[in-house]
Chains A and B, each alone.
Chain A
Amino acid sequence: MSHEKFEMVVGLEVHVQLKTRTKAFCGCSTDFGAQPNVNTCPVCLALPGALPVLNEQAVELATRAALGLGANLNSISIFARKNYFYPDLPKGYQISQFDYPLATGGWVTIGQFADGQPIRIGITRVHMEEDAGKSIHDRYTGASAIDLNRAGVPLIEIVSEPDIRTSEGAGSYLRTLRQILLYLGVSDVSMEEGSLRVDANVSARPYGETKLGTKTEVKNMNSFSAVEKALEFEFARQCEMLSRGEAVHQQTMLWDSARGEARPSRTKEGSHDYRYFPEPDLRPLILSAEWLQRMKDDLPELPEARRSRFAEEYKLGSYDIETLTVLPELADYFESAAREANDPKAAANWVLGEVMAGLNARGCAVDAFPVRPTDLAQLIRMIQSGHISHSAGKRVFAVMLETGKLPAQVAAEEGLLQVGDDDALVQWIDEVLAENPAEAARFAGGEKKLQGVLVGLVMKKSKGRADPKRVNQLLASRAGS
Chain B
Amino acid sequence: MSELNELSSTEIAQRVTDGQLAAADVVAAAFKRADAVIAGHEGLNIILHCDREMSRKAAEETATRIATAEPPGLLSGVPVVIKDNIATFGLPTTCGSRILDGYVSPYEATAITRMRAQGAIVIAKTNMDEFAMGSSTENSAYGPARNPHDPARVPGGSSGGSAACVAAGIAPVGFGSETGGSVRQPAAFCGVVGVKPTYGRVSRFGLVAFASSLDQIGVFGRTVNDAARGLESIAGVDPYDSTTSDAPVPEYALATTHLADRPPADKKRRKNPGTRELSPKDPMDLKGVVFGWPKEYFPDNLDRGIRSLCERARDRLISLGATFRDVSLPHTSLAIPVYYIVAPAEASSNLARFDGVRYGLRATSDFGLRGMYEDTRSEGFGPEVTRRILLGTYVLSAGYYDAYYRKAQMVRTLIAQDFNTVFNSGVHLLLTPTTPTTAFEIGAISDPYEMYLSDIFTATANLSGVPAMSLPIGRVNKLPVGGQIIAPHFGEEEMFRAAFALEQALGLEAHS
Contact = CB atoms under 8 A, between A and B. Distances in A.
Nearest to A275: B396
B304 interface: no
Interface in A272-297: 273, 275-277, 280-283
A48 B373 contact: no
Interface stretch (A86-94, A106-114, A385-393): A86-94
Contacts of B205: 49-51
Contacts of B351: 92
B352 interface: yes
A53 interface: yes
B243 A275 contact: no
Contacts of A45: 358
A277 B394 CA distance: 13
A277 B107 contact: no
A277 B349 contact: yes
A212 interface: no
A83 interface: yes
Nearest to B373: A85
A352 interface: no
Given A42-B106, A92-B355, A87 B369 contact: yes
A64 B129 CA distance: 47
Interface stretch (B37-45, B206-214, B223-231, B271-279): B206-214
A276 B405 CA distance: 11
Contact of B353 (A48, A51, A146, A273): A48
A81 interface: yes
A48 B87 contact: yes
B237 to A, nearest CB: 12
Summarize B's interface: helix, strand, loop or mixed: loop
Interface in B46-90: 85-87
A49 B346 contact: no
Nearest to B392: A275
Nearest to A282: B242
A47 interface: yes
Residue from the set B103, B107, B208, B397 with the largest chain A CB neighbour count within 10 Å: B107
A47 B106 contact: yes
A190 interface: no
Nearest to A45: B358
A273 B346 contact: no
Contact of B206 (A49, A90, A91, A146): A49
A220 to B, nearest CB: 20
A52 B106 CA distance: 17
Contacts of A54: 242
Most-contacted residue by chain A among B103, B240, B352 (CB, 10 A)? B352
Given A42-B107, A277-B345, A277-B405, A51 B242 contact: yes
Contacts of B109: 49
Interface string B103-147: 101110100000000000000000000000000000000000000
Interface in A18-53: 42, 45-53
A337 B215 CA distance: 61
Given A48-B103, A53-B239, A83-B349, A277 B355 contact: no
B359 interface: yes
A144 interface: yes
B435 interface: no
Interface string B476-509: 0000000000000000000000000000000000
B307 interface: no
A53 B357 contact: no
Contacts of A273: 397-398
Contacts of B107: 42, 47, 50
Interface in B180-214: 204-209, 211-213
A280 B346 contact: yes
B366 to A, nearest CB: 12
A281 B212 contact: yes
B240 A53 contact: yes
A93 B106 contact: no
Contact of B357 (A50, A81, A87): A87
Question: How big is chain B's contact interface, by range?
Answer: 35 or more
A48 B95 CA distance: 10
B393 interface: yes
Nearest to B357: A87
Interface string B357-390: 1110000000001000100000000000000000
B232 to A, nearest CB: 22
> Per DSSP, are chain A's interface residues mostly helix, strand or loop, or mixed?
loop
Interface string B395-428: 0111001000100000000000000000000000
Contacts of A276: 396
Contacts of B243: 280-283
A277 B401 contact: yes
Nearest to B87: A49
B212 A83 contact: no
A49 B206 CA distance: 4
Interface in B334-354: 345-346, 348-349, 351-354
A278 B208 CA distance: 19
Interface string A65-103: 000000000000000010101010011110000000000
A423 to B, nearest CB: 76
Contacts of A93: 349, 352
B100 interface: yes
B349 to A, nearest CB: 5
> Which of B93, B204, B241, B349 has the most chain A CB within a 10 Å cutoff?
B349
B243 to A, nearest CB: 7
B349 A48 contact: no
Given A83-B352, A91-B353, A52 B242 contact: yes
Nearest to A92: B352
B212 A280 contact: yes
A48 B100 contact: yes
B352 A85 contact: yes
Given A93-B352, A275-B393, A51 B241 contact: yes
Nearest to A91: B353
A51 B87 contact: no
Contacts of A283: 242-243
B349 A275 contact: yes
A89 to B, nearest CB: 9
B389 to A, nearest CB: 11
Nearest to B409: A278
B307 to A, nearest CB: 36
A274 to B, nearest CB: 9
Interface string A386-406: 000000000000000000000
Given A48-B93, A49-B209, A51-B240, 12 more contacts: A46-B353, A48-B95, A49-B204, A50-B107, A50-B206, A53-B242, A81-B349, A83-B348, A85-B373, A93-B349, A275-B393, A282-B242
23 contacts: A48-B359, A49-B86, A49-B109, A51-B204, A53-B239, A53-B242, A81-B349, A83-B348, A83-B349, A83-B352, A91-B353, A92-B353, A144-B369, A275-B348, A275-B349, A277-B345, A277-B346, A280-B212, A280-B213, A281-B209, A281-B212, A282-B243, A283-B242
Q: Which 4 A-B pairs have the closest CB atoms?
A: A92-B352, A280-B212, A275-B396, A280-B213
Interface of B: 85-87, 93, 95, 100, 103, 105-107, 109, 204-209, 211-213, 239-243, 345-346, 348-349, 351-355, 357-359, 369, 373, 393, 396-398, 401, 405
